Amino acid sequence: MTAEPPVDLDARLAAQDPDRWLSSRFVEDEAARADLVALYCLDNELAAVAGKVSTPLVGEMRLAWWREALEGLMATGATRGHPVLEALKTASLPMDTVAGLPDRYVAALEPADGDEALLARIDETAAVVMALAALRLHPEARVEQVADAARALVLGRTGQADAAAVRDILSRGREALAKLPAAAFPAVAHAALARPYARGARPGPLAKRLRLTWAVMRGRLD
């Protein structure tokens, strides 16, 4: 039997999630960059569950598989042959928090009931993942420094907030973001695309690269 070739998570992320892949290119340290790729690939697996199941119960079962797999990885190093778990096995991430990510996505199996519930969901999922990435890049990064960046990006990308609302969110979060260590900025750089998305624009690869480069150079998203 011919062994299957190893999965290239970097290539997978580039194809499935070009925004976060592009922001990870601004991380010079190869090990840190690989850890972010593994984290983002895990997050994409979890976030995709809601769109792949017919009922919340089935979704909960799939998320339970991930929770058990991550707990097993922490306990014994078992990867179940999954490339994302293989990558996380050597990652320098707070694995207790990473292992809790599947449970954070259970609520996403049901529609958010109002604006406050939607914001709370973003805070529990996208903002936590963004904070984990920032923490990997600098030990003093904190979730409150990136929370509004995550909110703006999700709302703008999904069309659940207009350009004015996204601009206000980014403006409100500017002071907190300014306290984010510069080394951790690549964890939030892709949120610079929030305003174009909210305007209905879909920038191409070059436009994205230029916008993210400008954001990283200034340390600002707006």
How far is 144 from 29, CA to CA, in rounded Å? 25
Written as six digits, the tokens of 17 are: 């999630």
- What does the pLDDT look like over 126-164, one tens digit per residue? 999 999 999 999 999 999 999 999 999 999 999 999 999
Dump the DSSP string for 137-156: H-TT--HHHHHHHHHHHHHH
pTM above 0.85, yes or no: yes
Q: What is the pLDDT of residue 54?
A: 78
Cα radius of gyration rounded to whole Å, the chain: 17
